[in-house]
């Protein structure tokens, strides 16, 4: 069955939705995005994603295409029309098209941003078999640009990272810069030692994960210690546990790094507990 998607004000069947070949998202990766999860047909942490979208747009001098209320309405409408119970809503805003290719930004007075949203149906997102098994990761060099705090659509290197992981028989890659782990290809990275959760502090080097903020809040509320600092791959290999967080996979235990099993090679105690708390709490707060 064809999805209904949203493009610049219209709800259309996916095969009728079009964007200009001159769109700067297509030509220059000049665009930002958000992925919001859906549980029980409701949006998880919409507010967090809307706030980060506004920040990404501001950092790139892009116009805000619509109010937060209107954006919420489009998200909800797509979830409703497409009958999504568990899944994702993808939102992309690009600097639009002024009908040609030019490095200089077009005049925002005359060129509107392009706005695209679509849903992805993912039954079993919460009760995920992958989360019960845990993920195997490899480490790769982080060669992305220096503004990873802006959620841009420049995802070629993360895609290459996923392919490198796949080739190595693994699920994902953790990126390393100057000897320290930055983040996963599409998630934030954590290690656990005893009752202590260690994750890189926020800066321009990583995306400020919306799931990260909520999970660290829940961890502190559950009397776990949180340490925001750099860690190396060697420290991660020697940790009791490791995990990642993202809107698309919530809390995902990591059971192997570069072929080294963590603990007994099965998800430990902390990551599954945090996953459970996160899903329970976010379900309650979903809108």
Footprint of ligand PDD on 162-191 (CB under 6 A): 183, 186-188
- Answer for the pair 239, 192: CB distance below 8 angstroms, yes or no: yes
Provide the angle, in degrees to the nearest 10, between the axes of the packed helices 46-59 and 68-81.
Answer: 130
Q: What does the chain come to in residues?
A: 287
| Residue where the block lists tokens 């639009």 | 96
In 3D space, the residue among 271, 272, 248 whose CA is nearest the CA of residue 124 turns out to be: 248
CA pair distance 115, 228, nearest whole angstrom: 35
Binding status of residue 248 toward ligand PDD by CB under 6 A: yes
Is 125 a binding residue for ligand PDD by CB under 6 A? The answer is no
- Please tell me whether residue 97 binds ligand PDD under the rule CB under 6 A: no
Residue 211 lies near ligand PDD (rule: CB under 6 A): yes
Instruction: Using CB under 6 A, pick the residue from 96, 199, 245, 252 that binds ligand PDD.
Output: 245
Choose between 53 and 97: whose C-beta lies nearer to ligand PDD. Answer: 53
132 or 147: CB nearest ligand PDD: 147
Q: How far is the CB of 102 from ligand PDD (least distance, A)?
A: 28
The active-site residue, picked from 133, 136, 151, 237, is 151
Specify whether the CB–CB gap between 191 and 241 falls below 8 A.
yes
The Cα–Cα gap between 279 and 127 comes to 10
Task: Determine if 247 is a binding residue for ligand PDD (CB under 6 A).
Answer: yes
| String of DSSP letters for 53-80 | HHHHHHHTTPPP-S-HHHHHHHHHHHHH
Q: Is position 151 annotated as part of the catalytic site?
A: yes
Q: Is 199 in the site for ligand PDD (CB under 6 A)?
A: no
Q: Are strands 225-228 and 196-199 parallel, antiparallel or unpaired?
A: parallel
Among 137, 212, 219, 252, interactor with ligand PDD by CB under 6 A: 212
The one among 92, 94, 114, 246 contacting ligand PDD by CB under 6 A:
246
First to last CA, the chain: 26
Give the nearest distance from C-beta 80 to ligand PDD in angstroms. Answer: 22
Which of the stretches 91-99, 133-141, 244-252, 259-267 binds ligand PDD when contact is defined by CB under 6 A?
244-252
CA distance linking residue 274 with residue 272, whole number of Å: 5
Q: Residue 139 interacts with ligand PDD (CB under 6 A)?
A: no
How many residues bind ligand PDD (CB under 6 A)? The answer is 14
The residues of the shown chain that bind ligand PDD, judged by CB under 6 A, are 35, 183, 186-188, 207, 209-212, 245-248
> Which residues are catalytic, by number?
151
């Amino acid at each position: 069955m064809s999805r209904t998607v949203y493009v610049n004000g219209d709800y259309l069947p996916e095969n009728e939705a079009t964007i200009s070949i001159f769109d700067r998202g297509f030509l220059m990766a000049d665009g930002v995005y958000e992925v919001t999860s859906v549980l029980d047909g409701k949006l998880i942490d919409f507010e967090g994603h809307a706030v980060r979208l506004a920040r990404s747009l501001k950092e790139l001098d892009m116009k805000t295409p619509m109010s937060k209320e209107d954006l919420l309405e489009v998200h909800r409408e797509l979830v409703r029309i497409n009958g999504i119970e568990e899944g994702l809503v993808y939102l992309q805003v690009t600097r639009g098209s002024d009908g040609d290719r030019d490095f200089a930004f077009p005049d925002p007075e005359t060129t509107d941003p392009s706005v695209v949203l679509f849903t992805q149906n993912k039954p079993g997102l919460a009760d995920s078999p992958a989360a019960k098994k845990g993920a195997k990761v490899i480490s790769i060099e982080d060669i992305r640009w220096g503004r990873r705090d802006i959620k841009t659509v420049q995802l070629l290197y993360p895609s290459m990272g996923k392919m490198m992981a796949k080739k190595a028989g693994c699920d994902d890659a953790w990126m390393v810069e100057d000897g320290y782990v930055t983040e996963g290809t599409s998630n934030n990275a954590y290690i656990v030692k005893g009752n202590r959760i260690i994750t890189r502090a926020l800066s321009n080097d990583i995306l400020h994960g919306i799931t990260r903020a909520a999970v660290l809040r829940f961890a502190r509320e559950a009397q776990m210690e949180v340490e925001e600092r750099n860690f190396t791959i060697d420290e991660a290999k020697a940790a009791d546990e490791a995990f990642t967080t993202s809107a698309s996979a919530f809390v995902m235990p990591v059971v192997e790094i570069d072929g080294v099993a963590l603990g007994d090679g099965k998800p430990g105690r902390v990551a599954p507990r945090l996953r459970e708390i996160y899903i329970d709490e976010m379900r309650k707060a979903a809108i």
